[in-house]
């Protein structure tokens, strides 16, 4: 296959690129749940491309395609982390849409026997709020997730970050929520690279001080914490934190830069996974963990290490726009019929960025039908004025 890709940012020149179009997915058959690690893929939502909406309208979701993608992930033994950052939570998907997504995905999970955990936040709040209002908003969402039969993920809250005056406010709110949770939850620490409004979460911009508060929150009710999901893109900090967790509390890596080494672990422990990059890498990630299930850490790294370049590209700053590359790859792989996103976020990355994502994904053999991916990429390039 030959396709012409833009050569530079300002020059209208192109140069040919030839791809092998190999399909590494041939060895990634569907299978049962994974054994040695608990692995969740945060999943994107598929927009309805025919809805008459604007960028600030409530999200119009193609429910059939959205749920079909979740069945794809479950079929490979992965769990689904629903209504999270990858689903454009707070970036096109409001609480009304997220609540419907949670209800539908949780029902689908029960029907197929898939693992699911859902995000609990405070995004129904639209203005300044005091701590009591923030807590009530969390409680409303926690109740919906638990009623749906899903595990709860207590997400970082923009409203709490704005209302809290110090560490004690975080301790108070989270202690109340953990006390009320009927089942152990996953606590989520999302760094400001993913959401600038979360700068200084846990009451301090000093990460050492913030880590101490985070551990204090867990210590209030360790029996109500299944694990933590840490997304700071700092492997050393994650390793240090997971070694300080109470016995029985898991660390779910959210580090889309260093996930192979963190999941493989060392003589003192390892991380489980809850990752946005496992949306496009789902079958390959499941295959790698099945190799790890046999005790073959080197084989696991051999499969996953080559994917890091793609992940670092998709998650490059501004990191919060990684969803655009994720949805592009879902379209090229045939999981949806269009490259449209809620909130118009398909325009959040440049054409050179999207082209590089295509080149890297093709090199990994991520496209079940390389010919379809080539055809669709050429269509996108033509729309941008790049003749083929």
CA nearest 185: which of 123, 131, 143?
143
Question: Mean of the pLDDT values across residues 94-103?
Answer: 98
Q: Does residue 15 carry a pLDDT above 80? A: no
Question: Mean of the pLDDT values across residues 298-324?
Answer: 97
What confidence tier does 33 reach under pLDDT thresholds 50, 70, 90?
Answer: confident
Question: Mean of the pLDDT values across residues 133-139?
Answer: 98
pLDDT value of residue 294? 96
Tell me which residue has tokens 């939502």. Answer: 45
Question: Mean of the pLDDT values across residues 340-354?
Answer: 95
Tell me which residue has tokens 């994917």. Answer: 307
pLDDT value of residue 4? 78
CA nearest 140: which of 121, 117, 116?
121
Cβ atoms 363, 382 nearer than 8 A: no
Which neighbouring-strand residues pair with 16? 4
pTM: 0.94
pLDDT value of residue 20? 56
DSSP state string for 303-360: HHGGGHHHHHHHT-SSGGGHHHHHHHHHHHTTSSS----GGGGGGSS-HHHHHHHHHH
The pLDDT tens digits for 203-251 are 999 999 999 999 999 999 999 999 999 999 999 999 999 999 999 999 9
Q: Does residue 1 carry a pLDDT above 90? A: no
**Ramachandran region, residue 306 (left: φ > 0; alpha: ψ -120 to 50; beta: rest):** alpha
CA nearest 291: which of 23, 33, 32, 34?
34
Question: Mean of the pLDDT values across residues 131-158?
Answer: 98
The pLDDT tens digits for 109-133 are 999 999 999 999 999 999 899 999 9
* Average confidence score pLDDT of the chain: 93
Task: Give the span between the Cα atoms of 307 and 284, in whole angstroms.
Answer: 9
């Amino acid at each position: 296959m030959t396709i012409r890709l833009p050569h530079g940012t300002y020059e209208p020149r192109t140069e040919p690129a030839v791809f092998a179009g190999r399909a590494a997915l041939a060895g990634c058959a569907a299978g049962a749940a994974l054994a040695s690690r608990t692995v969740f893929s945060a999943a994107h939502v598929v927009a309805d491309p025919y809805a008459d909406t604007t960028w600030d309208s409530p999200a119009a979701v193609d429910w059939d395609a959205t749920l079909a993608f979740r069945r794809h992930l479950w079929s490979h033994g992965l769990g689904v982390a629903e209504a999270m950052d990858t689903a454009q939570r707070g970036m096109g998907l409001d609480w009304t849409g997220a609540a419907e997504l949670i209800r539908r995905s949780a029902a689908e999970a029960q029907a197929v026997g898939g693992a699911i955990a859902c995000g609990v936040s405070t995004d129904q709040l639209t203005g300044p709020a005091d701590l009591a209002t923030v807590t009530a908003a969390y409680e409303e969402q926690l109740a919906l997730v638990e009623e749906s039969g899903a595990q709860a993920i207590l997400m970082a809250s923009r409203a709490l970050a704005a209302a809290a005056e110090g560490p004690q406010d975080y301790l108070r709110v989270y202690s109340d929520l953990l006390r009320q949770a009927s089942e152990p939850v996953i606590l989520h620490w999302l760094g400001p690279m993913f959401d600038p409004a979360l700068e200084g979460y846990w009451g301090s911009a000093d990460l050492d001080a913030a880590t101490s508060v985070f551990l204090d929150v867990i210590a209030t009710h360790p029996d109500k914490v299944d694990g933590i999901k840490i997304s700071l893109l700092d492997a050393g900090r994650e390793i240090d934190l997971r070694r300080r967790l109470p016995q029985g509390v898991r660390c779910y890596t959210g580090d889309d830069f260093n996930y192979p080494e963190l999941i493989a672990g060392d003589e003192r422990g390892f991380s489980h996974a809850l990752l946005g990059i496992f949306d496009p890498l789902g079958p390959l990630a499941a295959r790698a963990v099945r190799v790890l299930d046999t005790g073959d850490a080197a084989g696991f790294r051999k499969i996953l290490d080559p994917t890091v370049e793609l992940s670092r590209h998709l998650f490059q700053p501004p990191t919060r726009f990684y969803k655009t590359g994720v949805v592009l790859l879902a379209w090229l792989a045939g999981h949806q019929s269009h490259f449209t996103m809620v909130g118009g976020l398909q325009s959040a990355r440049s054409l050179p960025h999207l082209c590089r994502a295509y080149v890297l994904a093709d090199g990994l053999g991520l496209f079940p039908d390389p010919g379809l991916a080539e055809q669709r990429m050429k269509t996108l390039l033509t729309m941008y004025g790049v003749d083929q």
